[in-house]
Amino acid sequence: MSNLSCFSIIGTHRSVFKFKGDLLVKENYTRFERARIVGARSLQIAMGAPVLVEDDGRLDPLGVAIAELKAGVIPITVKRKKS
């Protein structure tokens, strides 16, 4: 299962499912977290970072970042305060 450690699936309810070891963990992002993640990733792409999804002719960094979020391959994590 070591090759599945970076595998992600986007759910229909704004959730990301990731494998951590052998367990499938569900992560929910708020709209503010999604906006921050997409904005930060589109800035990285605009500054020359490699694209992590197959290019289908998109020239817009924002569209590429959204496609990466839907594919679950953005290498950005969200740290939350424990309450």
In tens, the pLDDT along 7-29 reads 444 433 455 666 667 777 666 78
Q: What is the CATH number of domain 2-71?
A: 3.90.940.10
Q: How is the chain split into domains, by residue range? A: 2-71
For residues 66 and 41, what is the distance between their CA atoms, to the nearest angstrom? 9
**DSSP secondary structure, 1-70, as one string:** -GGGTT-EEE-TTSEEEEEETTEEEEEE--HHHHHHHHHHHHHHHHTTPPPSS--SS---HHHHHHHHHH
- Predicted confidence at residue 83, as pLDDT, reads 67
Main-chain phi, psi angles of 30, to 5 degrees: -75, 170
For residue range 33-61, what is the model confidence (pLDDT) as tens digits? Answer: 999 999 999 999 999 999 999 877 777 99
Q: What are phi and psi of 62, to 5 degrees?
A: -65, -40
